[in-house]
Structure 1
C-alpha cells in the first residue's frame, strides 16, 4: 500500500475519532440498523472523551451511507468537528465496530482491510477494439473506448482466390485493432500506475492484445474467459475473476516483500526501538506489519512531527517536543511512513513464522534519506 493518501490525516492536530465498522448487510432493516450502530458508536466516543462536534460529524457520515452501497465496511476518521477521511473497506472488519479516541488516527487496520487492493486496468476486448475500466481501492471508473477499423472484420465461408484475399484483409484488420488496443491499455497503465492488467474477451483477441503489450507489462497481465463488450451475465463472472486476480496479486506482493525482508539482513530493522530510530532518521523505505504482532499496540511517545517519536516519554523532550503524547507503535510508524514517502505492507507469514519479530519490521533506505531503497 502507498500510504500517501493518508497524509490529510496528519495535516491537522488531534485527538482523532477513528471508527471501523462492518456494513456487510443489505436487508430491509439496513437503514434502521445503520442508525442504531451510529448511535452506539457516538455514545462510545463520548465515553472516551470525544467532543460533541466531532461525534456529530461521525454520526452524520455513518448514517449517510448511500442506499445500495455494497461496501464490506467503512473506516471514518474525524477531528475538530470534521470528517477528514471516509474510506470504504474491501474486507469485513474482524469486529462489528472498533472505536478509538486517540492522539493519532487508528490507521493500521487499513493495511489489511482497505488500501491493499491494487489498481487494476480491465480491458473488455473484441475484434473492433475494447472498453477500458480502471478499478482502484475506492471503486471503478470508465477509462474510455478503443475503436479500431470496422471493415472488414468478418470472414466468409468461401474458399476461392478472392475469398483468400478477403480473409487476409480481415486478419490484417484484427491485427491492426489488437495493436491499437494494446497501445491504449499500455497508456492507461502508465497514466494510472496500475499494478495489474486484466484482459477479457474472446481467446484470439485477448491473446493478440497480450502479445503486443510491452515486455515490461507482461508480468502484470491476467487473462479471463469471462466478460466482454456485450456485458450481460458474464459481467458477474468477470468481477469475480478480477477480485480473485487482485487478491492473488496482493498475496504475491506481500510474499515478495517478506522474502526481501528475510534476505536483506543488514538493511532491515525490526522491533520497536530500532524502528523508532529508523523513523527519526527518515530511513524507513517499506514498513511491514504483521496483524497479530504483539508489538503493534506497544506504547510509544510522539510529537507534532512524524520524526518526533520515542520509546520512552523522557526521550521525547530531546526531540523538540515538551508535551509528548502516547500512541500505538503501528500507528506512529505508519504516520512516519506516509509523510516520508515509504510504503506500508500487511504480511501474513506461514503459521508459526514470527517474522518480522514482534509484528513490525522495515526495509531501510540508506542513511539520512539518501533516497536509495534496498
Structure 2
C-alpha cells in the first residue's frame, strides 16, 4: 500500500496529537458512547500536555460520520491548533487511543487502509444490473450505475408452439442485451478504480450471460462470484455479507502473497528483518516495502531528527550535534521514514512473524 497519503501529517514542527476512536453507530446509544470516548481522549491528551488550541480543534472534529451506518472508526491528527488529517476507518480500532508524540502515530490508520482493496460490486438479474465501484478504503462509491433494460417479454413460458418459441428467443435476447450493457458498466467501473476484485452476484442465468460478455474483454481485477442479489432487502443483505467475506479472503490472500515473497527474499538476501537492520536500510533509501506487525507493545524508543526523517538511531549521539533530535517509539518513526522515503507498507498478519515485528523488502 502506498503511504503517500500520510505525508501531510508530517508538515508540523511541534508535538502531534494522534487519536483513534471507535465511532460506530450500531447501538441505540451510539451518540452517548461517542461523546464519552471524545471526552476521555481529550482528557488524556490534556494530561499528556497538549495545548488548548489543539484540544479545541479536535473537540470540534471528533464524532465520526453520522451518515455511515454500522461499525466504523476515525483517526484524527492535530498540532499547534491545526488539523493535519481526519480519516474515517472502515473498522473500529482494536482499542481507543489518544497520544501526544513529537510525530504522528498513524499505525492504526495505516493498518485499516492496508486491509482495504479497490473493488466493484455487481448484482445482476434478468432486468439489468447494479454496478458500484469503490476505491480502496472508501465508504462512498466513486461510481454507481443501475441499468434496467427492456422488460418486455422478459419472462419465459412453458408452452411449446412455434409462436411461443419466438417468444422464448425474444426473452433470451432481452436478457443478453441487458447483461451486455451491464458488462460495459463493469469494465468501466473496474478500470476507474483499478479494481483488485470484481464481485458478481444475482440470478444464475443472468450471471451466466454476463460471464459470456466478459470473457472476450475481461475487466480489470479478479472476478469472484458471490451470493446475494438486487431483488429485495433479503437479497441485498445476503450480498453485503458475502461481499464482506470475499473481501476479507481477498485481502488475506494478497497479504499472504507479500509474506511469501518476504520469506523467499529473506532467504536470498533481498529482504531484512529486525529494527536495527531495517532502520539502516531506511536511512540508505533501500526500502521498497516496510512490513510491521500490529502489536507494538514491545517497541523500543528510537531517536530521530527533524532535518532528516529517514535517519534513526538507538543512541542520540549517533545523530551528531543536531539540535532537532527527539525520541519516540519505533513504529511511528519507522512509518515516518517509510512515508517520506517513498516506501510502501504491508501488515505482518498473524501467524507470520518477523524479528521485532519489523521487516522490509528492498529496492536493491
1:222 aligns with 2:228: no
For the 8 Å contact 1:284–1:362, the answer to whether it is kept is yes
Q: Deviations over 1:160-192 (max 9, x none)?
A: 334334433432333333233223212211111
- What count of residue pairs does the alignment treat as equivalent? 359
1:359 aligns with 2:357: yes
| Structure 2, unaligned runs of 5 or more | none
State the 1:313 CA deviation. Answer: 1.8
Segments of 4+ in structure 1 off by > 6 A? none
| Counterpart-to-counterpart distance in 2, 1:67 and 1:201 | 27
- Normalised to the residue count of structure 2, the TM-score between the two structures is 0.87
The equivalent residue for 1:81 is: 81
| Counterpart-to-counterpart distance in 2, 1:280 and 1:246 | 35
State the 1:115 CA deviation. Answer: 4.5
The equivalent residue for 1:143 is: 144
1:8 aligns with 2:8: yes
Q: What pairs up with 1:98-177 in 2 under 5 angstroms?
A: 98-135=97-134, 136-141=136-141, 142-146=143-147, 148=149, 153-177=154-178
State the 1:100 CA deviation. Answer: 0.7
For the 8 Å contact 2:114–2:346, the answer to whether it is kept is no
The equivalent residue for 1:369 is: none
For the 8 Å contact 1:272–1:295, the answer to whether it is kept is no
The equivalent residue for 1:278 is: 281
For the 8 Å contact 2:285–2:341, the answer to whether it is kept is yes
State the 1:267 CA deviation. Answer: 1.3
The equivalent residue for 1:287 is: 290
For the 8 Å contact 2:283–2:311, the answer to whether it is kept is yes
State the 1:333 CA deviation. Answer: 2.2
Q: Deviations over 1:269-311 (max 9, x none)?
A: 1112221222223222221111235664542423244424334
| Structure 1, unaligned runs of 5 or more | 367-374
| Counterpart-to-counterpart distance in 1, 2:313 and 2:218 | 42
1:183 aligns with 2:181: no
The equivalent residue for 1:338 is: 339
For the 8 Å contact 2:293–2:348, the answer to whether it is kept is yes
The equivalent residue for 2:246 is: 245
Q: 1:28 to 1:182 in 2, by over 3 A?
A: closer
For the 8 Å contact 1:301–1:311, the answer to whether it is kept is no
| SS of alignment partner, residue 272 of structure 2 | strand
Q: 1:111 to 1:152 in 2, by over 3 A?
A: same
Give the stretch that moved more between structures: 260-269 or 30-39: 30-39
The equivalent residue for 1:43 is: 43
Q: Deviations over 1:238-274 (max 9, x none)?
A: 1111111111111111111111100113111111222
